[in-house]
Structure 1
């Protein structure tokens, strides 16, 4: 669903991938290939990432639906989270996730997936199979553009850059993104590893943000958007996204289509972190 969206006096369009259903946002797009595969002979899926990863939760839902064992490896597990699980971690555990901790989380995940009946999924589902869902997304956007006689620029914030890379590869529209994990060089390398001829245009955030860091201006713009528009966005990526978008408006040629990539379940734990750190300032 694409709807009109106005924030800070700027009108744009919003693709509500957060409303796709139980699987929503960019993880629904990334998992579309697997949702349509029989995975015959597979009994376990293994992945790795952070302890509040959106992909972790989505994979736990997928594994539960398919009756598969789900193993997930993190490099660190906070003692408070271990004792009182919240957010994505809590719900993934409820779905039967088995958690492992290792400094080199990818190596352990590969080891756990070394048997023939196991399947390894990269962190954030940053793998070739993820392209399948973004072909669908690109086609849906193209049909909407034709129906409404509009050719907007597309913007979405990035972690691994998988969503932006595969959308740009399959779309005739200009696709812009910004780094939320690492810097521009890191994001370029990640995107070119997926598509060496990528057309994605990467914009610099107004300042360097370390992934998951608690910055008052990030919470404030997230709250401002919620209060002004009634739309709840994800609390790590989208604040950086909107700050980057508004500091780079001259990069866009006309209409803007912002992609809401879901992930708001993770806001539960992130809000708790903000409330602890900025008590009395929020």
Structure 2
């Protein structure tokens, strides 16, 4: 399977003209930035591997992507989380439901360990051998570079025919892995990459960049108000609604609204730039986020 050449569409949002790289359309289940970061594992042909091992949140985008990858490769996914809320067990929704439908085993540490232990520590102690392939949380690993370079190559090819103005590529960041490797492979072509920290602040994101041993970092936009990951903000919800109404495309509720709020401040001073936004998928997570927002703000 070759996941590549997602389409680029043209839109306007709040008088900002932009192009949209539709990585959400790479594959019906294995799409977005996680697919790019995990793409090299599609060519991983070690016959000893029987299990794919991951960890994080029971509603993480990475859970669904890993489940899809495991299904494609014929592996069993074991995904470790701190706990699974009783309501989610009773009525699976979002990425958790999607992963279960693909045959993933989502394992709560609270169900298998009497003493508190971080999933990563448990995995390294009990599930690290020749039959188990471990993927770090969020795909923050050098294995991500090959797939992200493929994305960069597609952008460079597209830019050859669409460079009326200097191109700036924008995308939000969790660990920042995609933005970092995009910057590495686009910077040499004169294409700027910028991002915003959605999980922590700018210092947190810089630490994530440094951990991957890359000296050249993308530009980081941030807002003066502190933004807590996973917290419900009415401004995020309204931006998400407006994006849907004006572009007729559904974006991720967890990451994209903050990036667009940063872009709304950035663009008036950069009208001479041509914006290319990377749609990184993750919309199945809206199945759990949207009811929370609607209960609070509708």
Q: TM class, shorter-chain normalised?
A: over 0.9
Structure 1 unaligned residues grouped into runs of 5+: none
CA contact (8 A) 1:5 1:229 kept: yes
Q: Which string of whole-angstrom CA distances, capped at 9 and with x for unpartnered residues, describes residues 32-90 of structure 1?
A: 10112213210111111111111110111111222211111112322211211101001
Counterpart in 2 of 1:166? 181
In the alignment, structure 1 residue 24 sits paired with structure 2 residue 31? yes
Q: What count of residue pairs does the alignment treat as equivalent? A: 279
**Rounded Cα–Cα distance in structure 2 between residues aligned with 1:33 and 1:26:** 13
- The 3 A distance-change label for structure 1 pair 185 and 204 is same
Moved over 3 A (4+): none
What CA deviation, in whole Å up to 9, does each residue of 1:84-104 have, x standing for no partner? Answer: 110100111121211222351
* 2:114 alignment partner in structure 1: none
CA distance in 1, matches of 2:123, 2:90: 23
Q: Secondary structure at the match of 1:147?
A: coil
Task: In structure 2, list runs of 5 or more residues that go unmatched.
Answer: 1-6, 110-116
> Which of 60, 63, 67 pairs up with 2:70?
63
1:13 to 10, 19, 27: 19
TM-score, structure 2 normalization: 0.89
SS of corresponding position for 1:170: helix
- Equivalent residues of 1:156, 1:259 under 8 A apart: yes
Once superposed, what is the RMSD of the aligned Cα atoms?
A: 1.5
1:246 aligns with 2:260: no
Cα distance, 1:105 vs structure 2: 1.9
Is 1:89 aligned to 2:74, yes or no?
no
Q: Does structure 1 residue 177 correspond to structure 2 residue 226?
A: no
Residues in 2 aligned to 1:235 and 1:132: alpha-carbon distance in whole angstroms: 27
Residue deviations 1:179-226, cap 9 Å, x none? 000110000110121243123111113522111111111111101110
Deviation at 1:253, TM superposition (A): 5.2
TM-score (norm 1): 0.94
